[in-house]
Structure 1
Amino acid sequence: MNQENQIKIKIQKFGAFLSGMVMPNIGAFIAWGLLTALFIPTGWFPNERLGSMVGPTLNYLMPVLIGYTGGWAVYGRRGGVIGAISTMGVVIGADITMLIGGMIMGPLGAWIMKQVDKLYEGKVKPGMEMLVDNFSMGIVGLIMMIFGFVAIEPVISVILSIMTAGVNFLINAKLLPLTALFVQPGQVLFLNNAINHGIMTPIAIEQAAKFGKSVIFLVEANCGCWFGITLAFMFFGKGMAKKSAPAAALIMFFGGIGEVVFPYVLSKPKTLLGAILGNMASLFILTTFNGGTVAAVSPGSFLALVAMTPKGSFIVNIASYFVGAAVAMLVASFFLMRDKTEEYETETVLNAEGIGEPAADLKITTPSGNIENIIFACDAGMGSSVMGVSVMKSMLKKAMINKNVEHVSVAEIPEKSDLIVTTKSLEGRVKDVIKKYNKDIPVFAVDNLMNNAEYEKIIEYLKTLS
């Protein structure tokens, strides 16, 4: 593996780790967002008693959930508990929401607990294990709480103040649209979840707590530009790209799964300019007319955007989505209409069945000689992998083949896997993760996890085993 791929894998892993602490808790963020939209003084149904839950939920529940999730990712349930304890130190000591504090203290506390457990592993007398485990966690937890309260909280507060000031400067100076120059290319490289949930959401939550909404939630998650890209391919694409684009457009608009669009852009890189300019247009409207949402828009569908829009912001938020789509469509269409590539060349990258590049003949060898567990792995385990599982289950049912098919994040690929299906951009990370199992698990990489045509190869292979 060359150095460039190693760097790419490390960036993806770090980004996935950050987003992995937030994404499992998106439901809690949505609950808080709905609570805010409904019951704060400027909400739909102002209610002082119910509105009193908004602050404690944000200031205590959210950071502790993130701390628990981060700790669990490092050291399982025991790591989750110590992660939550560690997070309380920064939460109690702060005057602002400590989501980033949870993202730091949760994994840190779990890692320290893991090292402490290793010190006395195998040295505890029988019958004393529970006592030692509980007291060691209590002692480490106390130390981490004090450490977070005294040392970490002041540092994080300063960092958050600087970040917030920087964001406010960009908004006030009308420069926020320039973030599209970095965000859209990052999304195409499948860093969308890391950008949205690892960077934007913690900053946006702080703004939403003060003002009832934040435009930062929509820096990455307003996906009108990607919807516009699919429309451009639908009207001005060629061959299989043109035929498959309508399905991708529907998935993007209603499902908000950006991974179905990125392969189109990768097949015609010039169209990325359409996505960049489209997002710039959206952000310009949002910053000019004071748009924003009350909580994270996840997934980035139009329906989720509307659901998280507070009273008084519907027109601007909806306008930003469709203006971004229109700009992206016009720019991408310009490049597609000027494209002189022959139709058959486009077909090697995009096919009518599922937006992906045809792979080589499938050759699978497993230690058991059989395949029972087919695992679909995407960055977060909650987007394109879910759709891929749905497609595969339908194909297996049609072929009358009974196999277990699951979706997971790359970081959580189980040892029981007999075949892993993932995207080509994540193939390196997948292989890096499964090395720890010391078994030959085949990895089937496609450009898009909705690729029916690719999965026919798996179906045909499974038929030979029955």
Structure 2
Amino acid sequence: MSTAAATPTTGPTRAKQAQVRVQRFGAFLSAMIMPNLPAFLAWGLITSLFIAAGWLPNGILGGFGDADAPGSWQGAATALAQADDGTTFQQYVGLVGPMVTYLLPILIANAGGRIVYKERGGVVASIVAVGMITGSTVPMFLGAMVVGPLSAWIMKKVDSLWAGKIRPGFEMLVDMFSAGILGAAMAVGAFFGFAPIITGVSDVLGNVVSWMADNHLLPLMAVVVEPAKVLFLNNAIGNGVLVPLGAQEVVETGQSLLFLVESNPGPGLGILIAYTVFGIGAARSSAPGAAIVQFIGGIHEVYFPFVLMKPTLIVAAIAGGATGIATNVVFGSGLRGPAAPGSIIAVLAATPRGSFLGVVLSVVLSFAVTFLIAAVILRASRKRDLAAGGGDLAAAIAQTEANKGKSSSALGAMAASQAGPDEAASDRPLRSIVFACDAGMGSSAMGASILRDKLKKAGRPDITVVNKAVANLEDDVDLVITQRELTDRARRGAPSARHVSVDNFLSSPVYDDVVREAAQQSERSTS
């Protein structure tokens, strides 16, 4: 069985530390958005169907609101006062306005509060969020991501002041009144103080996007987004910034291209198909399956290792992403809501009537541009890669560093041999295994499914195999499997577990090592 590579004695570089901090921040933002994406999807579908410009216009469900602001219900009260025809307020409001104004921000704030202080924090965060929402003039997505965790943290600190000092029998009374009083006070404070600040910040960010659009600079976002995705910073950018800004833009214009900046499946598909045609070795054999998972399943993480193997491919991803953004700008197309996961199915489901041509072309053209550039890069280095070791990952990384002319800590980490469970620790029975990734979904779920199936075929279906977000790891698991970039964070969450690093959740010899160990343990227990 393979053994884990020796851990370097030198501490992490400042760049690595900064990357880990940004990853943590992105994971925190993602943890507020990801659980609530079904609500965003429901709102997007209702908007696509029932507003005046939707597929099935319905004034009762879509709301009559302000015709100049699709999805808005700010003009409902005025319209109702002028109607005098017996129409109810609910008919003017519909579903779209209350969902985007109240439901989505409250869900986000509640999720943020729960992360900080569990159920108690979630309740207080929801109370404060309502104060902020009613005191603002724009949807409070960004505000909810700030006020939710902040109000829960304040509640937690206040509770700590008298923790252990309350006489028995009075705990519930103190808990109820302290949360109610503090929640009410913070809600009033958010109404008068916080809401205007967040409204101003939202206006500034919206003006920046508008300025970029007016100056034809939106495609340049790909220069930041595509490299950030490969470095696992996509959650901070996508869920932390683009989704809230896109949702606000939908309220104002009925759609937003910001939803497609990070979730466009075209660039990733272009890289994977280029590897399928021009790649070598294990990369070529695993690329077709990864392409299906990425394009249909929407799990973009599966193409990140392919870019890390040959960093020059980031040029192809950037060019493809910029092409997709530019296409949506030219055609004035966008989505009604987030495409989550970033599957072509989710993209089409969130596409409003009148935007299909632009959205489909943005995916197709971004794929074509990425594929062509990636094909040139792979084809040009094919002979050198073959000579370097037939597509071996370590050899390919070494060759890439030689071509680049300098070493890279990220590539050096990936060049390390794939780690398996330690021989010294293999006597510890395997009862639970966790696949951990940044968001706890996507590729880690695929890896868990693959290993679960292998263990079942090996006669060990009793071993629990699940997937989680790195931030949610607990020290009650025997083995944790992560992609190499996240292993350090995983060790902090589950210090007593064994940790295994892989380069690709979809294909790794580590899985066979784990299955072999599990089978050997089973044989020893029955002998």
* Letter of the 2:501 counterpart: A
* Letter of the 2:464 counterpart: N
Query: Quick check: 2:502–2:508 contact (8 Å CA) kept in 1?
Result: no
Where does 1:106-121 land on structure 2 (aligned, <5 Å)? 106-121=148-163
Query: Quick check: 1:357–1:446 contact (8 Å CA) kept in 2?
Result: no
Q: 1: CA distance between counterparts of 2:441 and 2:266? A: 20
Partner SS state of residue 405, structure 1: strand
**Equivalent residue number for residue 338 of structure 1:** 380
Where does 1:168-179 land on structure 2 (aligned, <5 Å)? 168-179=210-221
Alignment of 1:34 with 2:49, yes or no, is no
Alignment of 1:315 with 2:371, yes or no, is no
Partner SS state of residue 252, structure 1: helix
* Letter of the 1:126 counterpart: P
**Equivalent residue number for residue 462 of structure 1:** 518
- The change in CA–CA distance for 1:53 and 1:365 in structure 2 (over 3 A counts) is farther
* Letter of the 2:372 counterpart: L
Query: Quick check: 2:419–2:502 contact (8 Å CA) kept in 1?
Result: no
Alignment of 1:10 with 2:52, yes or no, is no
Q: 2: CA distance between counterparts of 1:36 and 1:407? A: 33
RMSD after superposition = 1.8
Deviation at 1:37, TM superposition (A): 0.2
1:4-50 superposed Cα distances (whole Å, 9 cap, x missing partner): 23222111101110111111100000000000000000000000110
- The change in CA–CA distance for 1:356 and 1:395 in structure 2 (over 3 A counts) is farther
Query: Quick check: 2:48–2:353 contact (8 Å CA) kept in 1?
Result: yes
**Equivalent residue number for residue 434 of structure 1:** 494
Q: 1: CA distance between counterparts of 2:504 and 2:394? A: 10
Q: 2: CA distance between counterparts of 1:28 and 1:75? A: 23
Query: Quick check: 2:438–2:470 contact (8 Å CA) kept in 1?
Result: yes
Q: 2: CA distance between counterparts of 1:6 and 1:432? A: 14
Where does 1:23-422 land on structure 2 (aligned, <5 Å)? 23-51=34-62, 52-339=94-381, 340-343=383-386, 344=389, 346-348=391-393, 359-363=418-422, 369-401=428-460, 402-422=462-482
- The change in CA–CA distance for 1:362 and 1:165 in structure 2 (over 3 A counts) is same
- The change in CA–CA distance for 1:49 and 1:27 in structure 2 (over 3 A counts) is same
- The change in CA–CA distance for 1:71 and 1:361 in structure 2 (over 3 A counts) is closer
Query: Quick check: 1:241–1:350 contact (8 Å CA) kept in 2?
Result: no
Q: 1: CA distance between counterparts of 2:427 and 2:112? A: 34
Deviation at 1:55, TM superposition (A): 0.7
Query: Quick check: 1:297–1:308 contact (8 Å CA) kept in 2?
Result: yes
Deviates more, 1:62-71 or 1:210-219: 210-219
* Letter of the 1:37 counterpart: S
Q: 1: CA distance between counterparts of 2:427 and 2:118? A: 28
Deviation at 1:297, TM superposition (A): 0.7
Deviation at 1:365, TM superposition (A): 6.0
Query: Quick check: 1:228–1:329 contact (8 Å CA) kept in 2?
Result: yes
- The change in CA–CA distance for 1:322 and 1:356 in structure 2 (over 3 A counts) is farther
Q: 2: CA distance between counterparts of 1:310 and 1:330? A: 30
Q: 2: CA distance between counterparts of 1:169 and 1:285? A: 18
Query: Quick check: 1:79–1:109 contact (8 Å CA) kept in 2?
Result: yes
Query: Quick check: 2:475–2:493 contact (8 Å CA) kept in 1?
Result: no
Query: Quick check: 2:421–2:498 contact (8 Å CA) kept in 1?
Result: no
- The change in CA–CA distance for 1:145 and 1:346 in structure 2 (over 3 A counts) is same
Deviation at 1:348, TM superposition (A): 2.7
Q: 2: CA distance between counterparts of 1:292 and 1:262? A: 25
Deviation at 1:406, TM superposition (A): 1.1
Partner of residue 505 from structure 2, selected from 418, 443, 449: 449
Deviation at 1:464, TM superposition (A): 2.4
**Equivalent residue number for residue 83 of structure 2:** none
Q: 1: CA distance between counterparts of 2:392 and 2:455? A: 26
1:223-251 superposed Cα distances (whole Å, 9 cap, x missing partner): 20110010111111112211111111111
Deviation at 1:371, TM superposition (A): 2.0
What TM-score, normalized by structure 1, do the two folds share? 0.95
- The change in CA–CA distance for 1:218 and 1:357 in structure 2 (over 3 A counts) is farther
Query: Quick check: 1:356–1:446 contact (8 Å CA) kept in 2?
Result: no
- The change in CA–CA distance for 1:360 and 1:411 in structure 2 (over 3 A counts) is closer
Segments of structure 1 that go 5 or more residues without pairing to the other structure are none
Partner SS state of residue 190, structure 1: coil
Larger radius of gyration: 2
Deviation at 1:183, TM superposition (A): 0.5
Query: Quick check: 2:420–2:514 contact (8 Å CA) kept in 1?
Result: no
Deviation at 1:345, TM superposition (A): 5.2
Deviation at 1:388, TM superposition (A): 1.1
Deviates more, 1:367-376 or 1:70-79: 367-376
Query: Quick check: 1:214–1:293 contact (8 Å CA) kept in 2?
Result: yes
* Letter of the 1:309 counterpart: T
- The change in CA–CA distance for 1:416 and 1:236 in structure 2 (over 3 A counts) is same
Query: Quick check: 1:12–1:191 contact (8 Å CA) kept in 2?
Result: yes
- The change in CA–CA distance for 1:33 and 1:146 in structure 2 (over 3 A counts) is same
* Letter of the 2:231 counterpart: L
Query: Quick check: 1:16–1:380 contact (8 Å CA) kept in 2?
Result: yes
Q: 1: CA distance between counterparts of 2:366 and 2:37? A: 25
Number of residue equivalences? 459
1:281-307 superposed Cα distances (whole Å, 9 cap, x missing partner): 111110011110000011111111101
Deviation at 1:443, TM superposition (A): 1.1
Partner SS state of residue 440, structure 2: coil
Q: 1: CA distance between counterparts of 2:493 and 2:23? A: 12
Q: 1: CA distance between counterparts of 2:158 and 2:167? A: 17
How many percent of aligned residue pairs carry the same amino acid?
40
* Letter of the 2:126 counterpart: A
Q: 2: CA distance between counterparts of 1:257 and 1:367? A: 32
Query: Quick check: 1:22–1:66 contact (8 Å CA) kept in 2?
Result: yes
What TM-score, normalized by structure 2, do the two folds share? 0.84
Query: Quick check: 2:420–2:500 contact (8 Å CA) kept in 1?
Result: no
Query: Quick check: 1:232–1:329 contact (8 Å CA) kept in 2?
Result: yes
Q: 2: CA distance between counterparts of 1:145 and 1:86? A: 4
Segments of structure 2 that go 5 or more residues without pairing to the other structure are 1-10, 63-93, 397-413, 523-527
